[in-house]
Chains A and B, each alone.
Chain A
């Protein structure tokens, strides 16, 4: 395995050093070197802060989304390991003012355990912090058990919409309600093509025969989700789209935001091909699409694959999704609609 690193131990810190050196007008290190925050924070007694802790190795998420109109801070754990509750608490302390904070938690074991523990510790210090669990991956738990699902790329909708809403001065409770509403309108399904290499062990993170694709994360007992042979991407996307729409049907003429996320080792050429198939599939159903996002934003090293996320936004959510932001890595969202 070839990885461009100095040492396993230094990976996260070397990366953060590079990040803050590259974007000094937008982001800065907090007092704790694993806290990345805005270089020019707003008045924290007036604006609710939005932060998340997560293991690194998935860049540009979440560090790359720190900046005006989006996150106030990201607490960076080790590679693929949620930061400790103690570290998340330090991040909360650094950015939380009288307006309070939303602690986003993408639903993965370590993130949930350590995030909830940190929020409890923050409450003990009289900081006003509300944790918000994010989950959207339909393959990780069946319909009816939505709150047992994992957070996947569709969590990006929650980041962006809450980030823009907080910027307009929305209050803490309203932000949490809005975030829950975005979550309930979001669904994601992923397909893996080839494993990423863990920089910790140097080994592939799963195995998959050359001619197979893996849909979802392989939870058993869910018909239709699992391995399938590589074929034309059209068939693969049609299958994934039908799974998504079966889980959460979308009525004709409902504006829908499509996010096609690459997992690190899949080219933009392939992602645009996937998007084209999604677009055609939605067109057949008379589902108009608005303001898509296409690229590799939530990655797992050089893992090849992609996910499709669908959001049916309210008009308010759509405005917030399209609102300008200034972060190192979040792309501009274009308004263009096409029925």
Chain B
């Protein structure tokens, strides 16, 4: 996988770590930013096998689930016309593993619309995916969590952005920049 892209993700998540931890603290145990950053650093250090490196280093549910997103981007990095299908496949696997659906206030709420938007806009699939993911993440705010740790929090995290959905949007935004598609 393109190491420059992975290194850019590392610096972006270094900036975001505290904010993501804070978002996660409202609904989980407050370490989402640190978890993703650990995974990104390992992926950037192992660009030949970023998926396994990410999964092993990040650990937790996020390690397994976000490694599928990394896998989709690896697949689509040289041909962004395949991005929509790759994201849809990742979303399907994430949904199976996590037993989650659209509207459950999870990373899927950013990923599913991103996949659809990429397929609907063949001229700028990466930018469309990023834009849809950002809207999707924003839309998690009023949702009540049905999956993930937020489910067990008083109020199901209503009023807070889902940290996982936010991370998906950030990753896709970086991917879009890398492909010269400015949203």
A residues adjacent to B (C-beta < 8 A): 55, 77-87, 108-110, 113-114, 116-117, 140, 150, 198, 200-201, 203, 205-206, 217-220, 226
Q: A84-B63, A114-B61 are in contact. Are A198 and B29 (CB under 8 A)?
A: yes
Is A85 touching B55 in the complex (CB atoms < 8 A)? yes
Which residues of chain A are near B30, meaning CB under 8 Å?
198, 200-201, 203, 205
- Tell me the smallest distance from the CB of B91 to a CB of chain A, in Å: 15
Q: How far is the CA of A219 from the CA of B65 in the complex (A)?
A: 24
Contacts A203-B25, A203-B30, A217-B152 known; A110 to B56 CB distance under 8 Å?
A: no
User: How far does the alpha carbon of A116 sit from the alpha carbon of B55 in the complex, in Å?
Assistant: 15
> Ordered nearest first, which 3 A-B pairs have the shortest CB separation?
A81-B60, A110-B61, A218-B154
> Does B31 sit within 8 A of A, measured CB to CB?
yes
Partner of A114, one of B21, B52, B64, B153: B64
Task: Report the Cα distance A85→B85, complex, angstroms.
Answer: 25
CB-defined A-B contacts under 8 Å, sample of 26: A77-B59, A77-B60, A80-B29, A80-B31, A82-B59, A82-B61, A83-B59, A84-B59, A84-B64, A85-B55, A86-B56, A108-B149, A109-B61, A110-B64, A113-B61, A113-B97, A113-B98, A114-B61, A114-B63, A117-B64, A140-B152, A150-B152, A198-B31, A200-B34, A218-B153, A219-B151
Q: Which residue of A lies closest to B154 (CB)?
A: A218
Extra inter-chain contacts (15) besides given A81-B35, A201-B25, CB under 8 Å: A78-B59, A84-B59, A84-B64, A108-B149, A113-B61, A113-B64, A113-B98, A114-B59, A198-B29, A200-B30, A203-B30, A205-B30, A206-B153, A220-B144, A226-B154
CB-CB under 8 A from B84, the residues of chain A are: none
Q: How far is the CB of B100 from chain A (nearest CB, A)?
A: 9
> Which of chain B's residues have a CB closer than 8 A to the CB of A86?
52, 55-56
Q: How many pairs of residues, A versus B, come closer than 8 Å at their CB atoms?
A: 93
Closest to B158 in A: A220
Q: Classify the secondary structure of A's interface with B.
A: loop
Say whether B101 faces chain A, with CB atoms less than 8 Å apart.
no
With a cutoff of 8 Å between Cβ atoms, the chain B residues found around residue A203 in the complex are 25, 30
**Residue of B at shortest CB range from A80?**
B29
Q: A218 to B64, alpha carbons, bound, how many Å? A: 27
- Which chain A residue shows the least CB distance to B149? A109
Give chain B nearest CB distance to A122 CB in angstroms. Answer: 15
Residues in chain B near residue A198, CB distance under 8 A: 29-31
Closest to B65 in A: A113
Say whether B71 faces chain A, with CB atoms less than 8 Å apart.
no
The chain B residue with its CB closest to the CB of A87 is B56
Q: Which of chain B's residues have a CB closer than 8 A to the CB of A85?
A: 55, 64
Does B155 interact with chain A (Cβ within 8 Å)?
Answer: yes
Residue of B whose beta carbon sits closest to that of A9: B38
CA distance A203 to B144 in the complex (A): 24
Task: Report the Cα distance A100→B127, complex, angstroms.
Answer: 49
Which residues of chain A are near B113, meaning CB under 8 Å?
A: none
Interface-central residue, B59, B144, B153, by most chain A CB under 10 Å: B59
Chain A, Cβ-Cβ closest to B150: A109
Q: Mark B49-68, 1 if CB is under 8 A from A, else 0.
A: 00010011111111111000
* Chain A CB within 8 A of B156 CB: yes
| Per-residue contact bits, chain B 123-149, to A (CB 8 Å; 1 contact, 0 not) | 000000000000000000000100111
Quote the shortest CB–CB distance from B165 to chain A (angstroms).
15
Contact across chains for B154 and A220 when beta carbons are under 8 A apart? yes
B61 & A220 in contact (Cβ 8 Å cutoff): no
* Complex contacts, B149 vs chain A, CB 8 Å: 108-109
Q: How far is the CA of A217 from the CA of B155 in the complex (A)?
A: 11
Minimal beta-carbon separation of B37 from chain A (angstroms): 12
Which residues of chain B come closer than 8 Å to A110, judged between CB atoms? 59-64
Return chain A residues, CB-CB under 8 Å to B98: 109, 113
In the complex formed, the residue of A with least CB distance to B52 is A86
* B152–A218 touching, CB < 8 Å: yes
Contact of B147 (CB < 8 Å), options: A84, A109, A217: A109
Measured CB to CB, the closest approach of chain B to A77, in angstroms, equals 5
**Chain B CB within 10 Å — which of A55, A77, A117, A218 has the most?**
A218
Closest to B21 in A: A201
Residues of B within 8 A of A80 (CB): 29, 31, 60
Q: Is the CB of A220 within 8 A of B155?
A: yes
Tell whether, in the assembled complex, residue B31 and residue A201 are in contact, meaning their CB atoms are under 8 Å apart.
Answer: yes
Residues of A within 8 A of B156 (CB): 219-220
- In the assembly, what is the distance between CA of A205 and CA of B30, in Å? 7
Give the docked Cα–Cα distance between A79 and B60 (Å): 10
Bound-state CA distance A203–B23 (Å) is 13
Residue in A closest to B63 when the chains form the complex, CB atoms: A84
**Distance A150 CA – B152 CA, assembled complex (angstroms):** 9
- B55-A219 in contact (CB<8A): no
